[in-house]
Amino acid sequence: METRTLEWDTPMYRLAVAQLDQTAQLMGLQENLWHRLRTPQRAHVVSFPFRRDSYDVVQTVFGYRVQHLTTMGPTKGGIRYDLGVDLGEVTALAMWMSWKCAIMGLPFGGAKGGLRIDPRQFSPAELQRITRRYTSEIIDVIGPDRDIPAPDLGTDEQIMAWIMDTYSQTKGYAVPGVVTGKPLEIGGSLGRKEATGRGVVTCMVEACRDLGLPVEGARVVVQGFGNVGSVSARLAHAAGARVVAVSDVASGIHDPAGLDLPAVDRWVAEHRTVQGFPGAEGVSNADLLTLPCDVLIPAAIQGQIDGDNAAKLRCKLIIEGANGPTDLDADRILAERGILVVPDILANAGGVTVSYFEWVQSLQHFFWSEDEVNARLVQLMTRAFTDVLATARQRGVDLRTAAMIRGVSRIAEAKRRRGIFP
Ligand code: NAD
């Protein structure tokens, strides 16, 4: 397949396309659909001047919002604040969102956005101003029927509240449905903050059942202790597993007897890092991945498990909380070694699933109880896991390929049904 995709060409985009190509070939996907799915339908690139708190300092900031596919309904996807953000990264993440929504049966196409900044270098006032300016730059392409942002790496419910407020100020009335992952007081959903981690742990429990691996006492290692990582660790612990190591951008901590997670939470609340937590050994992020354990949950950033370290991992099961943590070489090595990988597009789909619940609640102004949200999430995740596993068995492929086949088939069928305009 020959396509000039220079605009998006980065390692992460190449990974997303290589995964699609592999799946499309296996499925015998019609060439024109295959071609279309390799690139986003719309890609918005913005740059704007940003005044720091120190009045005379003005910086140029780059931002993106990419909508991969508008066939399935409005587009949906997170907003990332990170120095690594570029058009290729955001496009890859938007593609993964398309497959994820289709696997879960949600009425959305994939999108993603971001600013190329390090949010830790910004004051709260600066974060608010930059978020409002970015929102105003993309205001024409977002909206509850158009494209609905959510939190991702480096963003949180406060950032979503500022996006919602900026959009609503422009419209002249409150529009809670324009974002998800927002605070409860302005129309957020109970259970949204924990949703991605809850989905990760639901997949962990299901995969353990399939492998005949008892969850009780299973040794779990989690890379990343942000929204996804910390909730996954807490819920894995609540399910009976023993969390032996966690990390953040600074480094990790390891206790083979099991970490006292409430104490780690208190330490992080005070010190803003897991580093230095008393009573545990320090471990680098690279070494953390190769610790002996039953379940490894990468829940930080992409590009962590590759051809160099895949042979050294000492886990039985990988549940991908982060997007794009494993490359194709690693997938092959892990399959050969009999390590089961539950792919990102299934394992971390709990976030967008409860975002869907939040969007529905925002549109209807009718709110669900936390038990209702959690029960529906677990039901949908369990069903998706079972379906993907069945496809994997039927076609003799790994779970990533099976999940991709399910996602891409649904989108291809929708595209065939809608036809081509004009
Ligand atoms: P977050 O900003 O809340 O947390 C990220 C964590 O990773 C932090 O502990 C941070 O210190 C750590 N980290 C950052 N850079 C790192 C590095 N280079 N090495 C090791 N650790 C590093 O972000 P999050 O929302 O938890 O997202 C984490 C991952 O999960 C991302 O890949 C994101 O795309 C994915 N994801 C998030 C959601 C969601 O609902 N938030 C949903 C689906 C997928």
CA 55 – ligand 1 centroid, Å: 31
**pLDDT value at residue 1:** 53
**pLDDT value at residue 6:** 79
Residue with token string 């990102």? 344
CA 302 – ligand 1 centroid, Å: 9
Contact 22, 401 (CB under 8 A): yes
Residue with token string 């990343």? 224
C-alpha 77/C-alpha 147 separation (Å) is 8
Closest residue to atom 21 of ligand 1, CA basis: 249
Closest residue to atom 41 of ligand 1, CA basis: 152
Query: CATH topology of 6-174 equal to that of 195-347?
Result: yes
Q: Give the residue, out of 193, 249, 304, with the most ligand 1 atoms within 8 A of its beta carbon, to mutate for a pocket test.
A: 249
Active-site positions read: 112
CATH topology of domain 195-347: Rossmann fold (3.40.50)
Q: Which numbered atom of ligand 1 lies nearest the CA of 155?
A: 2
**pLDDT value at residue 63:** 98
**pLDDT value at residue 8:** 87
C-alpha count within 13 angstroms, C-beta hemisphere, residue 407? 33
**pLDDT value at residue 7:** 85
Quick check: bond before 422 cis, omega within 30?
Answer: yes
Which sequence spans correspond to the domains of the chain? 6-174, 195-347
Contact 335, 398 (CB under 8 A): yes
Pairing of strands 340-342, 317-319: parallel
Q: For ligand 1, which residues put their CB under 6 angstroms from it?
A: 151-154, 196, 224-229, 247-249, 285, 299-301, 321-323, 348, 351
C-alpha 45/C-alpha 62 separation (Å) is 7
CA 265 – ligand 1 centroid, Å: 16
Helices (H), 272-347: 285-289, 328-336, 344-347
pTM over 0.85: yes
Return the DSSP state at 143: B
Type of residue at 374: N
CA 402 – ligand 1 centroid, Å: 25
Closest CA to 252 of 282, 273, 297, 277: 282
Closest residue to atom 1 of ligand 1, CA basis: 226
Domain 6-174: CATH superfamily is Leucine Dehydrogenase, chain A, domain 1 (3.40.50.10860)
Show the low-confidence residues of the chain (pLDDT under 50): none
Tell me what the pLDDT averaged over the chain comes to: 97
**pLDDT value at residue 14:** 96
CA 196 – ligand 1 centroid, Å: 11
Closest CA to 223 of 243, 203, 199: 243
Q: Sheet of 340-342: strands edge to edge?
A: 281-283, 252-254, 242-247, 219-223, 295-298, 317-319, 340-342
Q: What is the CA radius of gyration of the chain?
A: 21
Helix (H) or strand (E) holding 127: helix 124-138
Q: Give the residue, out of 12, 198, 227, 296, with the most ligand 1 atoms within 8 A of its beta carbon, to mutate for a pocket test.
A: 227
The 10 Å Cβ neighbour count of residue 3 is 11
